[in-house]
Chain A
Amino acid sequence: MTDRAMSAASSPGDVAGTGSETGTGQSVSVVLPPVLAALAGDRKLLRLPVPDMTTVAAVLDLLGRDNPVLDRRIRDETRAVRRHVNLFVEGEDVRDLDGVSTEIRPGQELFIIQSVAGG
């Protein structure tokens, strides 16, 4: 396990760029908010291979496997999605569906975004 240098800059960069996790096979697209892109190799779009119909939780597990700091930003150590993090599958808030048990299939998009909060 390696530690990660982290940015504490006053203006976190909105890192542009997209990437493909595998480039082959069937996958779901995971769209990250710009502020988290640096935790996924400066990518805002990742394509994660999935075998078939799966769940949001399984996609998050896959995402977190190679990006543990990113995972900790999205979920706490009980694997609960943080209160002010919103997940959308094909534009539908998973909290209005089955939460992280919501099904997602190849070709669909998981959109991760922070809620409107703070002051």
Chain B
Amino acid sequence: MRYMSPTEQTVLAIGTKKGLWLATSEDRTNWTLSRPQFLMQEVPSVGIDTRDGRTRIMVGVRSEHWGPTVAHSDDLGTSWTEPENGAIRFPEDTGAALERIWQIQPDSRDRPGVVWAGCEPISVWKSTDGGERFELNRGLWDHPHRSEWGAGYGGPAAHSILPSPADDTVHIAMSTGGVYRTTDGGSSWEARNHGISAYFMPDPTPEFGQCVHKIARDSKDAKRLYAQNHHGVYRSDDGADSWVSIADGLPADFGFVMMAHPSRSGTAWVIPMKADAERIPPDGRLAVHRTDDGGSTWTRSDAGLPKAEYNTVLRDAAAVDSSDPAGVYFGTRGGTVYASADEGGSFAEVVSHLPDVLCVRAAKVGSA
């Protein structure tokens, strides 16, 4: 049975260290790969916005020579548009310059045109015109904690943004700093890391300073979140007021990825890595682990994955689509991308031998 009509397809955007590839498929099993775009420029962030009856792909691009920029395409990558003065541009009074766009996150369906971006230096931005121009969130930029936020290995960045579909709450995660929450649409932000370990700090349970790698929001319960920490896997049931460990049952509590099911509560996926000092799949065996009960139990899935794999999966190099059953996608720093059309039960290779995969995003779209 087809899961989509013949006029629909899934587009899988693959951002790498040296360019962007777009894969398309009608059955999420057989894929057609585009030519590389933005070749020799890294693409650390992609957002696919399917609201407003159109498909807009937004990419954060960074050239080692020529700097970062945001571009968008409304024709599945056939052409790209870049605002002349830059979609993201620090105001002059900040004295700051954009280094890298780590996250491009369309808001919920009832907020058309609203797109969020998370950047380096640590900053959050909001667009109300579909990602063509973003405004710096001053509440976070002027936050009194700023001088104490640090830099993860990849740089100091706000890398995860989760606007709540229920109200004006937005959760973000930064490395390093941890989870912050606003309940007033971004005017004020509070650290929300109670229960999350920062074992690398003198005080292992500080108010902030954690290195949370990725957060995801439960699709049915807006106050339930999941977090993959720099060692530690957590769940919150109270909007991040407190976190509890859900790492039991996993082969390791280190990793970068956290994905929540697009429509079913309690289901999430992680891809564990062995440890901070050994950033490889445990025993060199790549596997995706899934919970259907909010993290109480986990089920390992490695069907279709290689017997030996020593590359890691970066924080945004994994994503789900919104189809039923949900598709699960991830790519490795070794340049291989895998797709599952059965919610992570089994995987098949989409492409291999690409540059390091930095991000993937997938969405069901109309045919080009």
Contacts and interface: CB of A to CB of B under 8 A. Distances in A.
Interface of A: 1-12, 36, 68-69, 72-74, 76-78, 80, 82, 84-85, 114-115, 117-118
B65 A8 contact: no
B155 interface: no
B175 interface: no
B86 interface: yes
Nearest to A74: B66
Contact of B71 (A6, A68, A115): A6
8 contacts: A5-B80, A8-B71, A8-B77, A10-B19, A10-B39, A12-B39, A77-B92, A85-B65
A11 B19 CA distance: 11
Contact of B97 (A10, A78, A118): A78
B69 interface: yes
**Among all A-B residue pairs, the 7 with the closest Cβ atoms:** A76-B97, A8-B37, A73-B66, A114-B65, A6-B82, A68-B84, A84-B65
A72 B67 CA distance: 8
> Does more than half of chain A's interface fall in helix, strand or loop, or is it mixed?
loop
A9 B37 contact: yes
Contacts of A118: 40, 64-65
B132 interface: yes
Contacts of B35: 10
Among B39, B63, B69, B84, which residue has the most Cβ atoms of chain A within 10 A? B84
B20 to A, nearest CB: 7
Given A3-B82, A73-B66, A85-B65, A10 B90 contact: no
Contacts of B147: none
A109 to B, nearest CB: 20
Given A8-B38, A73-B65, 4 more contacts: A69-B84, A77-B98, A85-B66, A117-B65
A83 B69 CA distance: 16
B5 interface: no
Contact of A69 (B63, B77, B82): B82
Interface string B77-103: 101111111100110100111100000
B36 interface: yes
Contact of A6 (B19, B65, B80, B92): B80
A72 B97 contact: no
Contacts of B80: 5-8
A20 B220 CA distance: 61
Interface in B38-79: 38-40, 63-67, 69, 71, 77, 79
A118 B69 CA distance: 18
Contact of B95 (A12, A68, A78): A78
A7 to B, nearest CB: 8
A6 B84 CA distance: 10
Nearest to B71: A6
A73 B67 contact: yes
A116 B38 CA distance: 19
Given A6-B71, A84-B65, A72 B37 contact: no
Contact of A10 (B37, B66, B89, B92): B37
Given A6-B81, A11-B39, A69-B82, A76 B132 contact: no
A72 B69 contact: yes
Contact of A72 (B36, B79, B86): B86
Most chain-B Cβ atoms within 10 A of its Cβ — which of A2, A12, A78, A117? A78
Nearest to A67: B84
B64 A5 contact: no
A80 B96 CA distance: 10
A82 to B, nearest CB: 5
Contact of A82 (B36, B39, B67, B89): B67
A74 B132 CA distance: 21
Give the one of B19, B36, B83 with max A CB within 10 A: B83
B98 A76 contact: yes
B67 A76 contact: yes
B37 A77 contact: no
Given A76-B67, A77-B98, A8 B20 contact: yes
B334 to A, nearest CB: 16
B65 A115 contact: yes
Given A76-B67, A115-B65, A117-B65, A68 B96 contact: no
